[in-house]
Amino acid sequence: MVEFKHVDEVVCDSKSIPFEELIAIVKDVLSTDAVKKPVVIDDEGKVISGQELCIALKILGVRYLPVVRKGFQEALSISLKDLGFFDDISPTPLKVFRSSEELLIKNWPTPLLQLKSESDNRRRVWAKLEGFNPFSMSVKDRIGWYMFRKAVERYGGRVPTLLVEATSTNTGLALAAMCGLHGSKLRAYIPSTISKTGELLLKLFGAEVVRSDKPLTVDLIGDVEEVARKLGALHLNQFYNDANFEVHLRYTAKELELQVREAGIKPKAIIGGLGTSGHMSAIALYFKSRFNGVKIYGVVPKEGTTIQGIRRVESGMKWVHNVEIDGIVDVHPEEAINSVIELARKEGILVGLSSGAVHAAYRKVGGGEGDYILIFPDHGFKYVEQLGKYFERG
């Protein structure tokens, strides 16, 4: 007989699933909106059959698992909703929080805003404002929190003493905030292209900052890994840590679906920047599995240029190659800045340069009828230095 066990009562094998296999299981569960077979457990709650399904469902964030005891087999079809799939998204209605960490996770979903200057009777354009996250005021708060929490879980509840990370500011700010909340220390390695504002904010949050002469954050990974080995420090490595992808699958994409359904949106396309590729890869897998016909576009800097927070696909990304992306859109930095200025003047919102790049990309691929969703990764306060130089040039 099928039982429903809280996920914490079921012990999966700690082995990892090959990423391609995980993608296949997740895609099947999301597209059918159901679990079609139970996990088999022994009397102590340890999984003896269905390890991969158990791990995938835990990553997706169900609250309950359908289980049977050893010796029983039973066909079933249980909806994700009945397994508590959406229970993770539980905002605090009156916005009372008992810690800064709760301020982060209990304040989700981040807002979904209709852009009036881009919308008309034929087309509605929506922006998901990740700048409402509290630490770095960016989407990177999600991965900083989740990578840190997963590391604590992996080390049996022990908080790491020293973390080292290559960052272009936002992930570093999120990790520095988590370190400050939990008594750890962050040493942040930043590339040469990062603004003085970004470096100052990292120091303000308590991070030790080491500036490199290399221009791209991804170029620093090997150096940081070597430092971690020498010092016995923890290198979470946002570029290859699967918690980066998983947090967006479990939270960002799921909350966006709830918002889409609340607003009566039928998404024609979702457009977002590619940095580590974590959030757009997760959104692509999720929405391609649950919505028919939705297009996914990734945004990158025009070849030979840089836009802080996004980068070229050929510079190396882990997750984007395992999901379906309909197109890659090149954006010049001046196009991104012009969009930042336009959004401030027409919508009254200040967004970052990568958000400006997403808006500029929409102008290149949008225009038809339907609903378009733009993922704006961060707030614009960190980019006043670059914007000031733009105005100085006239």
pLDDT in tens, 119-141: 999 999 999 999 999 999 999 99
Question: Which of 12, 18, 26 has the alpha carbon at shortest distance from 54?
Answer: 12
What one-letter code names the amino acid at 224? Answer: V
Neighbours of 63 (CB within 10 A): 15
Sort 342 into a burial class: Cβ within 10 Å, 0-12 / 13-18 / 19+. middle
Is the distance from CB of 357 to CB of 298 less than 8 angstroms?
no
Token couple for 356: 């400006």
State the pLDDT at residue 159.
85
State the pLDDT at residue 66.
95
Is the distance from CB of 124 to CB of 372 less than 8 angstroms?
yes
User: What is the β-pairing status of strands 267-273 and 295-301?
Assistant: parallel
Is the distance from CB of 57 to CB of 29 less than 8 angstroms?
yes
State the pLDDT at residue 216.
87
State the pLDDT at residue 71.
67
* Beta-bridge partner residues of 166: 189
What one-letter code names the amino acid at 144? Answer: G
State the pLDDT at residue 368.
86
Q: Kindly give the parts of the chain with pLDDT less than 50.
A: none
Token couple for 388: 């000031």
State the pLDDT at residue 329.
98
Before 160, cis peptide (omega within 30)? no
State the pLDDT at residue 367.
78
Give dist(CA 76, CA 44) in Å, integer. 23
User: What is the β-pairing status of strands 208-211 and 295-301?
Assistant: unpaired
| Domains of the chain with CATH codes | 3-83 (3.90.1530.10), 100-136+243-392 (3.40.50.1100), 140-235 (3.40.50.1100)
Distance of CA 191 to the CA centre of its chain: 22
Give dist(CA 146, CA 29) in Å, integer. 23
Token couple for 76: 């079933």
State the pLDDT at residue 13.
80
Residue 278 sits at the vertex; the CA angle it makes with 276 and 282, to the nearest 5 degrees, is 155
* Stretch (H or E) spanning 127: strand 123-129
State the pLDDT at residue 17.
84
Give dist(CA 276, CA 198) in Å, integer. 18
